[in-house]
């Protein structure tokens, strides 16, 4: 997660900076302390938006955590926290039928909110892109982004918690496409798509000819995989675990590998 000063991609809360840097630092310190002690609780947070907090019962502290009273008071005074989220299962998933957010990152956020009695709102934002939501946090229009991979460049713009989930980026292609990729150095031979704003973007831009690297800035990744399926793209770089979830949900059975870039 990221908090404005505050996805292999580790997942973090990313929370906030400039005028509200003091508040954001306390939020991030709080998340670091609590997340470091989380394992597999029973508290009901105050939630003002469609959020499934049932998974909080799978979260428990492995050791006692002391929260400074000043930190607690400041966060409670600033509530509700405004949270933006992306559909990146298993960290965060938006259930269209129930119109609710759920997932590992949501469970942790619900647990922390319950422990400290801090209301939060996960903004709907279904028509906004990953890039749009990152901008909201950096401009102070939102307090927290979940989930987000850490990078040194991003850390200059916001505050991160410790990582609570790790995965890899994968190279994804059509079955029987004839594409051969032995390492990331083979990527310049192909037309490669990715989601604009992901942590791997600087690496791809440094590696790839501009005419063969195509960024997708859509509200979902559907158009990215549609372009792969119709032959507009040869390869897609995407989170391995999120792709596995989307592969079954969207029936992307003609797509595979994926070959893992370590």
In the predicted model, is pLDDT for residue 140 greater than 50? yes
Helix ranges restricted to H, 103-213: 104-116, 130-138, 152-155, 201-207
pLDDT value of position 35: 45
DSSP letter for 92, please.
B
What distance in Å separates the CA atoms of residue 113 and residue 132, rounded to the nearest whole number? Answer: 25
In the predicted model, is pLDDT for residue 237 greater than 90? yes
Confidence of residue 12 (pLDDT cuts 50, 70, 90): low
Residue 133 — φ and ψ, nearest 5°?
A: -70, -35
- Other beta carbons within 10 Å of 200: 21
Question: Is the distance from CB of 107 to CB of 52 less than 8 angstroms?
Answer: no
Which of the two residues, 86 and 27, has the higher pLDDT score?
86
- In this prediction, residues 201-217 reach a mean pLDDT of 94
Question: Is the distance from CB of 2 to CB of 14 less than 8 angstroms?
Answer: yes
What distance in Å separates the CA atoms of residue 78 and residue 259, rounded to the nearest whole number? Answer: 45
Which of the two residues, 127 and 136, has the higher pLDDT score?
136
Q: Which fold has domain 169-261?
A: D-Maltodextrin-Binding Protein; domain 2 (3.40.190)
What distance in Å separates the CA atoms of residue 144 and residue 123, rounded to the nearest whole number? Answer: 10
Which of the two residues, 257 and 238, has the higher pLDDT score?
238
- In this prediction, residues 106-117 reach a mean pLDDT of 89
In the predicted model, is pLDDT for residue 126 greater than 80? no
The pLDDT tens digits of the residues spanning 16-38 come to: 544 444 444 444 444 444 444 44
pLDDT value of position 257: 63
The pLDDT tens digits of the residues spanning 160-199 come to: 878 888 888 889 999 888 888 888 899 999 999 999 888 8
Structure tokens at 249: 């949900």
* Residue 192, strand partner residues: 213, 235
Confidence of residue 40 (pLDDT cuts 50, 70, 90): very low
Read off the pTM.
0.68
In the predicted model, is pLDDT for residue 262 greater than 70? no
Report the Cα 33 to chain-centroid distance in Å: 20
What distance in Å separates the CA atoms of residue 171 and residue 176, rounded to the nearest whole number? Answer: 15
CATH class of 2-166: alpha beta
pLDDT value of position 13: 55
Averaged pLDDT of the chain:
78
pLDDT value of position 258: 44
Within the chain, all domains assigned CATH 3.40.190.10 are found at 169-261
Q: Which long-range contacts (C-beta less than 8 Å, at least 24 apart) are formed by 180-185?
A: 181/235, 181/259, 183/261, 184/261
What distance in Å separates the CA atoms of residue 44 and residue 194, rounded to the nearest whole number? Answer: 38
DSSP letter for 38, please.
B
């Amino acid at each position: 997660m990221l908090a404005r000063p505050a996805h292999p991609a580790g997942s973090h809360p990313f929370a906030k900076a400039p005028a509200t840097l003091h508040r954001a630092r306390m939020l991030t310190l709080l998340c670091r302390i609590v997340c470091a002690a989380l394992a597999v609780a029973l508290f009901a947070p105050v939630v003002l938006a469609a959020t499934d907090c049932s998974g909080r019962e799978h979260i428990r502290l492995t050791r006692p955590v002391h929260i400074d009273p000043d930190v607690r008071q400041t966060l409670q005074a600033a509530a509700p926290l405004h949270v933006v989220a992306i559909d990146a299962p298993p960290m965060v998933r938006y259930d269209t039928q129930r119109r609710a957010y759920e997932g590992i990152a949501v469970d942790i956020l619900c647990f922390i909110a319950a422990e400290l009695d801090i209301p939060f709102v996960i903004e709907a934002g279904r028509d906004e892109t990953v890039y749009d939501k990152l901008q909201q946090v950096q401009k102070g229009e939102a307090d927290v982004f979940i989930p987000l991979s850490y990078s040194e460049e991003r850390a200059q713009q916001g505050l991160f918690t410790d990582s609570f989930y790790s995965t890899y980026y994968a190279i994804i292609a059509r079955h029987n496409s004839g594409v051969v990729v032995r390492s990331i150095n083979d990527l310049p031979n192909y037309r490669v798509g990715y989601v604009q704003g992901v942590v791997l973007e600087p690496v791809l831009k440094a590696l790839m000819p501009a005419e063969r690297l195509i960024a997708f800035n859509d509200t979902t990744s559907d158009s990215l995989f549609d372009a792969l399926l119709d032959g507009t793209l040869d390869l897609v770089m995407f989170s391995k675990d999120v792709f596995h979830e989307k592969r079954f949900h969207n029936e992307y059975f003609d797509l595979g590998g994926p070959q893992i870039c370590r």
